[in-house]
Structure 1
Amino acid sequence: MTENLRRQWHTSTKILANDLHSQLKLGSTSSQLLDCATSDAVTSLSNKWFEKVEQLYNEPHRAYHNMSHVQDLLASLDLVLETHIEPSVEPKDTAIATIAAFFHDVIYNPKSSTNERDSANLFIDFVSELVNVIKTVSRHEQNARIDGDMSENETVTQLSSPKDSQTSESDMVFRIEQCIIATATHISCANQARQSNNKLLAAFLDSDMSILGRDRDRYNEYARSIRKEYEFVERSVYCEKRAKILFSFLPALKVVETVHAIPIDETSKSSSEKMKGVEENQNRCIYATEKGRELWEYQARENLRNEIDMLCKGLIPGEVDR
């Protein structure tokens, strides 16, 4: 798992480095942009930050919000992006979603209400370090090509102070930060993204919520893991608060009667038949993308209703099955 995630991280970091290099307007050609992204300094920084991110996701209090969740999110993204964004997924879009996946839960304290903002801030710290490395690499590359009539000091002065505001103008940085912050309010942000035709953000948020629509055993393991992360909360209080959070999804669940009428064990119907009528009520759906609704909507409704029922009885899904 780790090596595949590391590969995805490095590929996306190189794309971000090229984007930032271009935004800094350092006068490099396209081939020089590639040289910068693949330089030893950028690779070293990428390795350093991957290890830092991995270490944070491996914190002992994480039972669900760990690197396995990142891997699952990226796998779900592959499913959604393949059909949701036409005609094809641009490498930059893939890099945006990948980096956002790594950073969206990188800061996770169950007692904090600012995890998403704190995670976004750490991402900006990463970008700042990457920009500094890019400036240094560009300065060295241009000094190596310096004309004999220009002194080295003159070149350093010319390249050492590009406008900081140019970094904030990076479309990639903005969209990655947007994805991270939006995970604070998944369903509302996902539907806003759908309405504004922000397909990548909608796909990212749907993928982060894909666990809700997995098979019952997988969902129960997820529910048990969430309880473990909040084991400091007294059980009855946890059940009450957790049920209230899940119940807040219920407006999204109140769709056409044909959906509610389907028995849990009715397996003879196809996914499209089970979801008949949902397309007419997209604003009331959990998932904003057509692919997300096709893959996970029906099962997510059943899983949420089941957990709410159990929580009202003081039971935790997954615990009673162990």
Structure 2
Amino acid sequence: MISPERLDVLQTQWVRFVGGLGVEPANAYPVFDRLVAAHSEPHRHYHTLEHVAEVLKVVGRLAKFADDPVAVQLASWFHDAVYDPKARDNESRSAEMARAALQEMGIDREAEWVADLIRATANHRSLDDADTDVLLDADLAILGAGEARYLRYAEAIRREYAFVPDDDYRKGRAAVLEKFLARDRIYRTDVMHLEAEAPARQNLRAEIERLK
């Protein structure tokens, strides 16, 4: 649960950001309210506004490596706007929500690219361009977090999949984590590879051991 103070900061950040793209506050607030409502659904424990805030923080650090940092930041706000652990089309539906909201606010130029970036988070495979590299690295930054934060993340994911029996969850979750470990690089940007690759692999191996 995000604190009221942090929510106020996010709201100010959103209004200021889209204001720089020509959006009046009166048009920015309703979209922000919809984002808050979406990320506050009771079945969410990790894919919340806290996650959005963490992704935005990393995107801010990596913005200089993006070709279109505005699109990457917009995609960060919307990439988990639709999240149902039982569904397989969350990313495509989030992309459509983003495109509609951006067009509603008159940010037409970015709408299609933002939607494409969000779709790329479905399998966390880059489109071999700088923008998706930045977005995906920010989305996966949690894997390289400190031990306490990583444990809280892993526990939150389990809560989101509470409907899955323990044995099935352990097998499925371990398989997902092992796919990340099998990659040559988890992080595409050099700075994230340097800073987070080793701790991410350590966290993943530790969680796999706990799952087994």
Q: What TM-score, normalized to structure 2?
A: 0.91
Contact 1:12/1:96 (CA < 8 Å) preserved in 2? Answer: no
Aligned partners of 1:173, 1:56: CA distance in 2, in Å?
19
Q: How does 1:1-322 map to 2 (within 5 A)?
A: 1-16=6-21, 37=22, 42-82=24-64, 84-85=65-66, 93-131=68-106, 167=108, 170=109, 172-186=110-124, 188-189=125-126, 192-193=127-128, 198-252=129-183, 284-312=184-212
Aligned residues: 207
Aligned partners of 1:201, 1:289: CA distance in 2, in Å?
10
Aligned partners of 2:198, 2:69: CA distance in 1, in Å?
27
Q: Which runs of 5+ in 1 are unaligned?
A: 17-36, 135-166, 253-283, 313-322
Aligned partners of 1:230, 1:62: CA distance in 2, in Å?
10
| 2:40 partner amino acid | N
4+ aligned runs moved over 6 Å, structure 1: none
- Residue identity over aligned pairs, in percent, reads 32
- The residue matched to 2:105 in structure 1 has which SS? helix
1:174 Cα deviation (Å)? 2.4
Contact 2:35/2:81 (CA < 8 Å) preserved in 1? Answer: yes
Contact 1:105/1:115 (CA < 8 Å) preserved in 2? Answer: yes
RMSD of aligned alpha carbons: 1.8
Contact 1:64/1:225 (CA < 8 Å) preserved in 2? Answer: yes
Aligned partners of 1:79, 1:127: CA distance in 2, in Å?
24
- The residue matched to 1:248 in structure 2 has which SS? helix
Relative contact order (alpha carbons < 8 A, sep ≥ 6): 1 or 2 greater? 1
Contact 2:56/2:77 (CA < 8 Å) preserved in 1? Answer: no
Larger-gyration structure (1/2): 1
- The residue matched to 2:123 in structure 1 has which SS? helix
Contact 1:64/1:222 (CA < 8 Å) preserved in 2? Answer: yes
Aligned partners of 2:186, 2:90: CA distance in 1, in Å?
22
Aligned partners of 2:133, 2:20: CA distance in 1, in Å?
22
Aligned partners of 1:240, 1:15: CA distance in 2, in Å?
46
Q: Which runs of 5+ in 2 are unaligned?
A: 1-5
Contact 2:99/2:112 (CA < 8 Å) preserved in 1? Answer: no
- The residue matched to 2:83 in structure 1 has which SS? coil
> 2:3 maps to what in 1?
none
Aligned partners of 1:234, 1:181: CA distance in 2, in Å?
29
